[in-house]
Amino acid sequence: MGPTDFAKHISDFISKYLPNENGASLNTITAYRDTFVLLLSFIEKHRKVKLEKLTLDYITKETIVAFLDWIQSERKCSNSTRNLRLAAIHSFYRYLQYQHLDNLYECQRILSIRSKKTAKDSIKYLSVEGIRLLLQQPDTTTRKGRRNLALLALMYDTGARVQEIIDLTPSMLRLDKPATIKIIGKGNKARLVPMLDAQTVHLKNYLKEYELDSPSAKLYPLFSNSKKEKLTRAGINYIIQKYVGMARKENKLMIPLKITCHSFRHTKAMHLLQAGVNLVYIRDILGHVSVQTTEIYARADSKQKRIALEKAYEDVNPGEKAVWLNNENLISWLKRF
């Protein structure tokens, strides 16, 4: 018995379409693969269908909805996780509708499944004083402490995603003036981020100490563990939480409760915005496709809004007093109005 149509199309989607035509990152491909592993597991265990006999005709809108309900009820997934799984499935069926016209109707039914609404958390970011306190925590008398300071400072200075930091190599740095760093972002898109001299001090010292400034080390991981392997997300998060805990002991008001790897990116974006940097430049530094994504920082920055409102009030109404203040009291003024 040969492979089914489902096996062929899902194989082509994961191994050919996503990396070659779509330009998806390894993280995206892995997340999509994991979604379909879960879906196949659900079909095999709960729908009693042998995978070697599974065809496209079997997977209907009702099957997908049942799967999404299952991951929420049995696996306790949140709405946002459910939406991520659904996004992966939608991506496959958008691809499939051009590959398998006989299945077009069911593709469109599955694509009609809606995402669930999720509560949007407020953006967690550090003040300038907060990030300064956090960067004071690594013990720079130790080799590992100096590495961690270089890592955290670079995460803040570049506003890079954690995977982008993990994938850096010394060859992507240009530290002679004008200093720049090449970052490979989502969809394998590269961007050059300028760096000021003050930002490169820890990095230059780190490269020299760890012998990463030699030609033979150009393609080594920029930040590695004791086994000379790339740091992982969990490894970087462990480092961050260590220093977040130390900083909170010094001043818990400066350090929000939930600080993650992504908080460094949010922090850089907010500080650039507060310094008056144009949203277009912030978009390019962060590697957003659209400035609309970057605008979320402008909407979230209540400090900037308050300052803008205060300036507008001072400019438009200098020294103006409410009319009723010249009367005996507000109630009598309202009665006469």
Looking at residue 159, which CATH number applies to its domain?
A: 1.10.443.10
Q: How far apart are CA 192 and CA 211, in angstroms?
A: 24
In a domain, 197, yes or no: yes
10, 71: one domain: yes
Q: Is 46 inside any structural domain?
A: yes
pLDDT at 119: 65
Confidence of residue 329 (pLDDT cuts 50, 70, 90): low
Q: Is the domain of 159 the same as that of 239?
A: yes
Task: Give the pLDDT of residue 51.
Answer: 86
Is residue 27 scored above 90 in pLDDT? no
DSSP for 308-326, written as a single string: HHHHHHHHHSTT---GGGG
Name the pLDDT band for 332 (thresholds 50, 70, 90). Answer: low
pLDDT of 117 higher than 90 = no
Catalytic residue among 90, 147, 161, 283: 161
What is the structure's pLDDT at 315? 45
Determine what percent of the chain is predicted with pLDDT higher than 70. 84
Provide the domain limits for residue 209.
Answer: 128-287
**What's the average model confidence in pLDDT over 96-101?**
86
Please check whether residue 74 is in contact with residue 88, taking contact to mean a CB–CB distance below 8 angstroms: no
Is residue 292 domain-resident?
Answer: no
Does 122 fall in a domain? Answer: no
Q: Could you give the maximum distance between any two Cα atoms of the chain, in Å?
A: 95
Residue where a domain stops, chosen among 62, 85, 111: 111
Mean pLDDT of 233-245: 94
Tens digit of each residue's pLDDT (9 = 90 or more) over 153-206: 999 999 999 999 999 999 999 988 888 899 998 777 888 888 888 888 889 999
Q: Are residues 314 and 178 in the same domain?
A: no
On average, the pLDDT of the chain sits at 85
Annotation marks residue 45 as catalytic: no
> What is the arithmetic mean of pLDDT over 225-233?
90
Task: Please identify which of the residues 61, 100, 186, 204 carries the catalytic annotation.
Answer: 186
**Which residues have CB under 8 Å from 242's CB, separation 6+?**
none
pLDDT value, residue 53: 87
Gap between the Cα atoms of 236 and 257, Å rounded: 18
Confirm if 181 and 192 have CB atoms less than 8 A apart. yes
Concerning whether 262 is annotated as a catalytic residue, the answer is yes
- The residue type found at 193 is V
CA distances from 312 to 15, 207, 305 (A): 56, 48, 10
Please check the confidence at residue 307 and state whether its pLDDT lies above 90. Answer: no
Catalytic pick among 265, 266, 268, 271 = 265
Active site residue 117: no
Instruction: With respect to residue 172, please indicate whether it lies within any of the assigned structural domains.
Output: yes
307 within domain boundaries: yes
| Same structural domain, 331 and 204 | no
Same domain, 101 and 176: no
Report the percent of the chain where pLDDT is more than 90.
47
Same domain, 282 and 323: no
- Tens digit of each residue's pLDDT (9 = 90 or more) over 121-160: 667 788 899 999 999 999 999 999 999 999 999 999 999 9
Is 265 one of the catalytic residues? yes
Cβ contacts of residue 269 below 8 Å, gap of 6+?
125, 159, 282, 286, 294, 297
Whether residues 76 and 147 share a domain: the answer is no
Within-domain flag for 276:
yes
Does residue 143 sit in the same domain as residue 47? no
Whether residue 302 is predicted with pLDDT greater than 70 in this model: the reply is no
The domain total for the chain is: 3
- Average pLDDT (286-305) is 67
> For residue 119, is it within any domain?
no
Residue 186 annotated in active site: yes
